[in-house]
Structure 1
Amino acid sequence: MPYHHLEPKEDPTVLSFNETEFTAQTESLIALRPRIEELADRLVDEGYDTLLLVGAGGTYAQMWPYEHLARRTSRLTVRSAIAAELVVSGDALLGERTAAVFTSVSGTTEDSLRAIEHCASRGALTIGFTGLPDSPVAQRVDVALVSAPKAWPFDVQLLLLLGRVLSRRGEFADYDRLADELAVLPKVLVDVARQAEPVAAAFAEAHKDADYHFLIGGGNLWGFTYLYSMCILEEMQWLRTTRVHSAEFFHGSLELLEEDTSVIVFQGEDETRPLTDRAEAFAKRISRDVSVFDTRDYPLDGISPEFRGLLSPLVLDTVMDRVSKHLERVRDHSLDLRRYYRVMDY
């Protein structure tokens, strides 16, 4: 099939999408703003000098955009860590001036629970974002910030937390304006879901028999690229994938491309966009099946142009949720089906 640029079109029918629940979940994230800002002010006022963003699997990958944001705009030490590795390897900066941030939808992830105990034992302040107030994660952290159940992703909370900290440090002058504009997200993201629906359906129909996908992304979308490859296509659909950062595309993985390879390109709106453009252009020279999901295609009414790049992970998550639901339909493979994850002991 010819490569195609996936442009959204209006369609009122959205598969397996509970608009009321989705809106309520997103509103619950925005409603955390006062408590998140109070926490951020505490971190600055009490002299915390390290933010450790700890996760496992998808929640680890979701930390990367905010490590990336801090790395390019701040002198504050902000780094992500894999929960299980943190426990066995440690971190030289972990101590009483460290704030360790955890995210968990279920609040029961064993690796994260052990990492919370590890961080607490080193004197760190532990912070948890979850949707279940009685979950083990919520009960074991020092500060629990609870949203609606099953609310995902955690980008709103992480952006508010890091944005406020950077603002207080004089490193994010427009934070208040950004935070105010997030109030329109519930409607904006519903619009994104509706517009992405026909694109998602078309992609799924065209690839229902594909058993391998090559994913490319960069900048603050690299985390989502990793997440979608591993947590959705591999874990939830049992499909084989290769995932590569657009800046690393020309250092090995490109040799896997063939003319019928399904290439999925995630394109955002930060300063790394030209790197993904370069990888996309090359992929189109080899493969006849290049699908580009570009956050720039979505209007995001009420969001200022200068903030669009920061919201690309959240927008892309909404778009690709539509793709996931349609892959589930055309492949007759439930997104909840597992063979090993939380099924077998390991």
Structure 2
Amino acid sequence: MLNFDPERFLRIQNEALSHTRSIQRVVGSLFDDGASNLFFLGAGGAGKLMEPAAQLIARLSDFPVYLENAAELVAVGSSNLGPQSIVVIPSLSGTTPEAIAALEHAHQRGARVISLTAHADSPVAVAADHTFTVSAADDTSSESFYLQSLVIALALLNRLGRYDAFDSTVSQLQSLPALLLEVKRSYEPTAAEIARSIQHDEYHIITGAGPAWTEAWYYGTCILEEMQWIRTRPIHASDFFHGTLELVESGVSVILFKGDDASRPLAERVERWLPSVTDRITVVDTAEFALPGISADVKSLIPHVLVATVLERVSAHLEVLRDHPLTTRRYYRRLDY
């Protein structure tokens, strides 16, 4: 596989899942201490990656959960944030200014903070009440953050009595890193073809629903825009026919993600309509990925993980074809914080 270290990938994703029981104990302890709501507070893409976990909690329980933009919450405040709150702050570097400010704000309000970082000695990790460190980097952080936040959500739901299959699910997830590696290997020719097909496009509409929508937003914003300087329009599949359809015409590239979950019909509706106006259609469908030993119920929890893991392969080819390394930035170092 192009520009890929299988052993490193396995080590990082297994490390993410190695914290499962510790996360379960921390979440249980905070709940027993009187926690009555949960905030996911992240900046940029790291914050967006928490969306499927927040939605899972909200859809399976009445426990109040808030997915907030960290910088905006610090600016405007929240009457719901206080000593009764669990706050989860993801920050790969652990040095993101907005994440540090959110952590300080949460502590000022008396909340308890769980941090997810790649560096145990970073400001966010050191200041958090509980920190879980996984030595991920940009190319492996999506799966890592997705899996850690999923475990947080499932641990809370289990404590609430709303998810009895916790032990069975985490047992299945332990085999997921190796299965993801096989998915990557089998998808490599397709990834190379997708990269060749889209390498010259300067604009993409990217859509999906359910957990796959989170990855649609993330891939458009944090990979194609930030790392490749390609303009994108991420749009939820349920909103596609409320405006964005008017932007589609012959030659316009649309990238569609279909998850193996209850939201799938929303993506299929877009897929049925697209051929009537454009032949520039790229579909990533998690139903095509074999995961031996993973039940349908568990697979429905991870379409975003699956889409992220194959898109990493697309990106690896795209940066070579475009002669634009994923680490190249124009303005990042010039930001005035």
Question: Same fold by TM (over 0.5)?
Answer: yes
User: Do the aligned partners of 1:55 and 1:82 also contact (CA within 8 Å) in 2?
Assistant: yes
Q: How far apart, in 1, do the equivalents of 2:286 and 2:76 lie?
A: 37
CA distance in 1, matches of 2:301, 2:208: 15
Asked whether 1:223 is paired with 2:210, we answer no
Q: Which runs of 5+ in 2 are unaligned?
A: none
Aligned to 2:333: 342
Distance 1:291 1:196 in 2: 14
| Cα deviation digits, residues 197-226 of structure 1 (max 9, x gap) | 111100111121111111011111221111
- The aligned counterpart of 1:279 is 270
Partner residue, 2:301: 310
1:104 aligns with 2:91: yes
> 1:248 and 1:196, CA in 2 relative to 1: closer, same or farther beyond 3 A?
same
2: CA distance between counterparts of 1:67 and 1:160? 11
Q: Does 1:155 align with 2:146?
A: yes
Q: Deviations over 1:51-109 (max 9, x none)?
A: 10011111111011112111211111112111111100111100001011011111111
Residue number in structure 2 paired with 1:213: 204
Counterpart in the other structure of 1:144: 131
Give the equivalent residue in structure 1 for 2:102.
115
2:64 corresponds to which of 74, 77, 85:
77
Q: Partners of 1:152 and 1:185 in 2: how far apart?
A: 15
Could you report, residue by residue, the CA deviation over 1:27-64 in whole angstroms, capped at 9, with x for unpaired residues? 11111012101112112211211110011111111011
For the 8 Å contact 2:210–2:263, the answer to whether it is kept is yes
What's the offset of the Cα at 1:149? 4.3
- 4+ residue stretches of structure 1 with deviation over 3 A? none
What CA distance in whole angstroms lies between the structure 2 residues aligned with 1:34 and 1:170?
17
Q: Which amino acid aligns with 1:286?
A: V
* Letter in structure 2 aligned against 1:189: L
1:345 shift after superposition: 2.2
- Give the conservation status (yes or no) of the 8 Å contact 1:32–1:147: no
Larger RCO (CA under 8 A, 6+ residues apart): 1
Count of residue pairs the alignment pairs up: 333
Q: What is the DSSP-based 3-state SS (H/G/I as helix, E as strand, rest coil) of the residue aligned with 2:261?
A: coil
**Given that residues 51 and 77 in structure 1 are in contact (C-alpha distance below 8 angstroms), is that contact kept between their aligned partners in structure 2?**
yes
Q: Find the partner of 2:36 among 49, 57, 71.
A: 49
Note if contact 2:286-2:307 (Cα within 8 Å) is conserved in structure 1: yes
The residue number in structure 2 matching 1:191 is 182
Distance of 2:261 and 2:59 partners within structure 1: 11
* AA partner of residue 262 (structure 1): S
Partner of 2:167: 176
The Cα of 1:246 is off from its aligned counterpart by 0.5
Distance 1:344 1:165, change over 3 A: closer
Structure 2 counterpart of 1:92: 79
Q: Give the aligned residue type for 1:127.
A: I
**Counterpart residue type for residue 57 of structure 1:** G
Structure with the largest fraction of helix: 2
Q: What displacement does 1:270 show? A: 1.7
Q: Give the deviation of 1:342 after TM superposition.
A: 3.1
1:117-159 alpha-carbon deviations (Å, 9 max, x no partner):
0111000001101121101110111111112343512111111
**Gap change, CA 1:197 and 1:343, over 3 Å in 2:** farther
For residues 333 and 76 of structure 2, what CA distance do their matches in structure 1 show? Answer: 24
Equivalent pair of 1:218/1:247 in contact (CA under 8 Å): yes
* Conserved? CA contact 1:107–1:137, under 8 Å: yes
- Paired-residue identity, %: 38
> Any conservation in 2 of the 1:56–1:111 contact (CA below 8 Å)?
yes
Structure 2 CA distance, aligned partners of 1:80 and 1:91?
A: 12
Distance 1:141 1:202 in 2: 43
Within the candidate set 319, 323, 329, 2:314 is matched to 323
Work out the CA distance in 2 between the residues paired with 1:79 and 1:120: 17
Q: Distance in 1 between matches of 2:68 and 2:193?
A: 37
SS of 2:174's equivalent? helix
Residue 292 of structure 1 aligns to a residue in which SS? strand
Task: Tell me the C-alpha RMSD between the 2 structures.
Answer: 1.1
Letter of the 1:180 counterpart? S
Matches of 1:216 and 1:344, distance apart in 2: 29
For 1:50-69, list aligned pairs within 5 A. 50-69=37-56
Q: For residue 284 of structure 1, report the CA deviation from its aligned partner.
A: 2.1
Show the counterpart of 2:20. 33
Residue 191 of structure 2: which of 200, 204, 213 is its match? 200
Looking at structure 1, the residues matched to 276 and 236 of structure 2 have their Cα atoms a distance apart, in angstroms, of 19
